[in-house]
Amino acid sequence: MHSKSLALSSPELLAEYVLQSELQGFLEKRFAAPPDHAAILIRDGRVVDTYKGAHFSIGGVLRGLLRFATGAQNVRVLLADLKPFSIQSPVRAITKDAVEVAGVVTLELQVDPDEPQNVMGLISPVGHLTRTGILERFRPHLADRVFESVLRQIEARELRGHTGVQDLLQGSVMRELERIAGNIGLTVRAVSAEWALSEVEREEMRYAQIDRQQDALDRSLEWVKRGLERNADAAEVQLKTSLDLTKLQLDSDDEIERLVLAREVELLDARESAQRRQELEALGHEIEVLQTERAARIENELAEAGQQIDLNRYRRALTRVNLEIEAMRATHAAEMRKLGAFAELDIDERQRTLELDVNGRAQRQSLEHIAGLQEIENSTAAHEARLAEEARNGQSRREVDAVRAEADARVAQMQAGANMSAEQVLAVNAGLSKDVAAVLVERARAEGGGHEQALGLMREMVSQATEARVASEAQAREMFRMGIDGAVGVARHTGGGQGADADPGAQVSASATAECPTCSRVNPAKARFCVGCGHQLRT
């Protein structure tokens, strides 16, 4: 006959009752308990038998007849997992040196294979037992009684890797669970704990890291020192070697004498070097003096060259004048010869006299020319200097005037902007003068209630004042005095919000209006364009 293998309905379960529906039947049913499970047969509340890895049967015709004869029987089967299982619980406690430590405790538990029926005491009302249910049940008993009391005896730095602590913890947990659950089918096989890093351990790790870094620095320093010493030793060895080689080369008195002479030559050379340096310094000083003198001489030469150029120009002018005089004289003599008015002697005498006279006059003229040109040159230079000064002064004055004008304009603009209200701006933009605008603003503020009302009233009054071509303050006051107040009253009514959207054409009499042929809007008769559509009403 085929046996039905029993199994727990969920891997999270540790024990559970087999459903009654699987047990009931008129015919006999055979069940097989797995080798690592215990099937506990309970009949009428009494444990009849326990099957481990065995087959058993329930029901059947004979038992049915017997049950029919003796009355109803209640049969239940409890299936329990006998394999060891582990549960983990977080633990947090204070150590002997008042350091908070945390960790995870792993409990290795097992349903007692010898008396598995005792686990019935742990079954929940719904008919099963879970691993987490066991943990939740025992955690309150372990927290203070075991973990806190054990860890209170240990210092934090001794906790990690301490087998004795683990054994103490395991023994304490076993004792406590034996006390609590010893007779309900649970045995404790092992207890171990893993610890998180505590504050003390973190500090020790940090100090250890700092020590390691310091050691690394010391080692680097040591290496650097050793490198320096090695270099120093090598240099020393090289010097000594050089000396030794020199000594080895001096294998005769002549060579020693030559060496001495060479050193004397070096000494002399050093003296000569110092002397040469002094000479070079003296030469450098002389070069500076020469440089300064040369610069000054270049300037003088430039000035003299300028004067020489002027003199050459004057000489050329003088030569040109002399040539002209000579030509005039020759022309004059030829004409006199043609006329025959003078004898040859007279002519020669006059010619000599004329030459002397001409030469003297030419010299005087040249001197006068030179003096005049010098004077002109001087006056020109003075004039140019004066013009330059005046130009600078004029530029400065213009800049000052520009800055002042700009500042004045800015001040005036700021003052105008600051002093004008929105109503005044509105009136001035419409072409009215400031005085008229002031009167209208005064009137608008007197008549209007709030700011919006005053603005609305202001618009109407500006419109009327523009149409009436009011140009002065007196005209504006006269306009109000002459009874335009009636119209202003209407405007105030409009500005006050009542009927603000009314058609403005309605305020104008019919005789003074013109209807737009395009949009039918009523415009003032004097309007050249329709204000609604822009159609030209008249030319």
Task: Give the residues lining the site for another protein (CB under 8 A).
Answer: 276, 279, 283, 286-287, 290-291, 294-295, 403, 406-407, 410, 413-414, 416-418, 420, 422, 425-426, 429-431, 452, 455, 459-460, 462-463, 466, 501, 503-504, 518-519, 523-524, 527-534, 536
Nearer to another protein, 496 or 524 (CB): 524
At closest approach, how far in Å is the CB of 407 from another protein? Answer: 6
Q: Which residues contact 108 (CB under 8 A, 6 or more apart)?
A: 84, 85, 86, 188, 189, 190, 191
At closest approach, how far in Å is the CB of 218 from another protein? Answer: 48
Residues 168/103, Cβ–Cβ less than 8 Å: no
Radius of gyration of the chain (CA): 66
Residues 61/160, Cβ–Cβ less than 8 Å: no
Residues 148/169, Cβ–Cβ less than 8 Å: no
Distance CA 41, CA 49 (A): 5
Longest dimension (CA), the chain: 207
Nearer to another protein, 209 or 429 (CB): 429
Distance CA 336, CA 11 (A): 161
Nearer to another protein, 443 or 459 (CB): 459
Nearer to another protein, 221 or 303 (CB): 303
Nearer to another protein, 226 or 276 (CB): 276
Nearer to another protein, 235 or 533 (CB): 533
At closest approach, how far in Å is the CB of 201 from another protein? Answer: 50
Distance CA 383, CA 375 (A): 12
Please choose, from the candidates 104, 41, 47, 82, the residue with its C-alpha nearest in 3D space to the C-alpha of residue 187.
Answer: 82
User: How many helices and strands in the chain, by DSSP H and E?
Assistant: 13, 13
Nearer to another protein, 123 or 522 (CB): 522
At closest approach, how far in Å is the CB of 396 from another protein? Answer: 11
Nearer to another protein, 26 or 529 (CB): 529
Nearer to another protein, 112 or 423 (CB): 423
Residue position matching structure tokens 């209807």: 515
At closest approach, how far in Å is the CB of 383 from another protein? Answer: 24
At closest approach, how far in Å is the CB of 13 from another protein? Answer: 55
Please choose, from the candidates 529, 523, 528, the residue with its C-alpha nearest in 3D space to the C-alpha of residue 505.
Answer: 523
C-alpha neighbours within 13 Å on the C-beta side of residue 14: 27
Q: Which residues contact 411 (CB under 8 A, 6 or more apart)?
A: none
Distance CA 176, CA 147 (A): 11
Tokens representing residue 202 in the block: 């973190």
Residues 42/75, Cβ–Cβ less than 8 Å: yes
At closest approach, how far in Å is the CB of 483 from another protein? Answer: 22
At closest approach, how far in Å is the CB of 320 from another protein? Answer: 38
At closest approach, how far in Å is the CB of 467 from another protein? Answer: 8
At closest approach, how far in Å is the CB of 405 from another protein? Answer: 11
At closest approach, how far in Å is the CB of 480 from another protein? Answer: 18
Distance CA 461, CA 437 (A): 10
Distance CA 100, CA 431 (A): 88
Nearer to another protein, 294 or 332 (CB): 294
The helix (H) or strand (E) run that includes residue 285 is helix 253-339
C-alpha neighbours within 13 Å on the C-beta side of residue 123: 18
Residues 462/432, Cβ–Cβ less than 8 Å: yes
Nearer to another protein, 366 or 513 (CB): 513
Please choose, from the candidates 108, 112, 91, the residue with its C-alpha nearest in 3D space to the C-alpha of residue 191.
Answer: 108
At closest approach, how far in Å is the CB of 380 from another protein? Answer: 25
Helix (H, G, I), strand (E, B) or coil at 420: coil
Residues 518/535, Cβ–Cβ less than 8 Å: yes
Beta bridge partners of 51: 39
Nearer to another protein, 23 or 531 (CB): 531
